[in-house]
Structure 1
């Protein structure tokens, strides 16, 4: 049963992990201030926002709007309160122009625990919505609803954060701008039709990166593709060929050389030649097979069912502390049997500069993959998953948004945690 609070009321917090989310008519950002008993931060690192999304016990979860994931037991002993802050994207607008925002606190399973409708706001553009605070050995939730007409800088300065100026709001026009795209060697060799298609896809990739504040980021891109018997239909219908074609634009915008590193796997795996823009179509014809011997690779010896630990370990072994970021695009139709071993590898991988984006192809049982977001014991959340029943029915804008939606958030969190330098 959801407890509805009014300003000043509190409720006992009994969940080990909670998510603080926002419902509002206006575009708004969510942030958090971790403060001591004196009501101030210990340093600027105790301010969690879109450019610094992680602090001990608090994580900003991407979304529109974002949410705060808070684990009280992981908060430093000298942190007495976590204050959840709402800031209007447009600094010229005020909360009084819109219906009152509603803040919800849910447990780790997503069950709502507390709801607070923030009534009475008028000329404020920033509000402390609620706070989690220590009371003896327990944690409680208090409905605060304290607005700041002086704006964001006034709020954070009052809490001890050092700012030179009010941070820029998210710019609505940025998403509408035409982003600059990279051109890589080999594009001139394509036909006009293929070059036009590639250019459109590159622009969709760049739009996502721009929207996620990651345009200009450079990352190695690794493509891993399931080669098991259950994928027969996907190979026969050339779905996998089209997957490769649609992954190339990601590499052109992220990778220094604009190439994709590629692997096929089943029981064991094969490291294939890199995929370039100019040779992508021929590459697919040459290397995408389920059986036989092609270019010296015995596909039969790779096996007919999927065993993920060897391929995950193989990719992990190419990533070293101090490297630049790596994005792993891992296409599979599921059926992961060695769940504990895979989970342990993903935990180990969290300390390395690589993000693992798993993509399910076709209607299948994905089991462990659906549990990745809740996998514990990781320094940062380094893996994501989504399923596509029919990738051919998903347009480029939606596909790239899903493929790249979590990578920039991981990158910011990994930088904050020292995983990426």
Structure 2
């Protein structure tokens, strides 16, 4: 079922290695061509454009672009006790996990009488995007909102596509999750148009935001790229992916189940096994085929597993598997080896690392207390998953006494003159007793 890429007997460098690994073909630049007119339309025509685009892309014209409070309350009231409990557990675990990410404010005495303080300031207003395509993601409401709330964001707005089956409103479970979290500014707006609404604001409907976060399809990713600089963004999170590093000690049924679980998301989802055991590879491939045939979304799973973005990578040993994993830089990386904790410590490129046999990715998707909005497409080489820092900015406060400033005048003057910026030195000289300016 899964293609095999045999790297045994070769030690390519990381750049060559990355080019030989299975990866989805994603052309964000081409998607940009499609989203620019949509963004311009929303900027020019506001709510009229949003309604027309909802009809075009979502098959429904919402009666209300902003979700009425009564709908939020009704959907929470109609939530089953079991699902409400699951959402509440997820919220509690994520609050605890994200609280641990909060940075500590510090004051450092640089010289006697001169200090620099590092303060962390939350964003005033943020826009959260929650997709609504092949699946419903109340968990993404939690992942985005809890991180923002723990960071101390003052205003939180959320957008999710309108659903024809739900009267032009976002899915009821998404609305119930919003109500549980105390978010009452919710919009029935999807895709690139939601990103445009958040970035530029829409008169009479939605004020612009400072930061936009949340996963989505390639058009959402392209729209976020287009507005970056007007607002901050978390990352261009695309279609999901999982890589699993496994040796002969791994349970092939666990590995197969986890590869299938991510393939369930999307026909373009990537599921990659990296192993030094041909026997494990064969067993996993066989079990993937059986599980794919037996699961609910068989066609979606089989398309993903047979696609060019998925496969089995054979390597010589676990060291080589670690090198491949770092070159691949997976969104989700599982470690199923005899020394899983030690091997996980050698990973430096991954969105999230799941250590050992009892930590499948779905644990992180819902309940672990980590965030599931993670970098995809190899961007984990330089990007982190969504966390409280996406909603915080650091501000430095400088406070020197007159004596501390005076003591630095000489060396500062030398630097200022070397850079041909004498007024820089003169700004200090104006504060010195007598006339110290040159």
TM over 0.5: no
Which structure has more strand as a fraction of its residues? 1
Which structure has more helix as a fraction of its residues? 2
Q: Which has the larger radius of gyration?
A: 2
TM-score when scaled to structure 1? Answer: 0.30
The structure with higher relative contact order (CA 8 Å, sep 6+) is 2
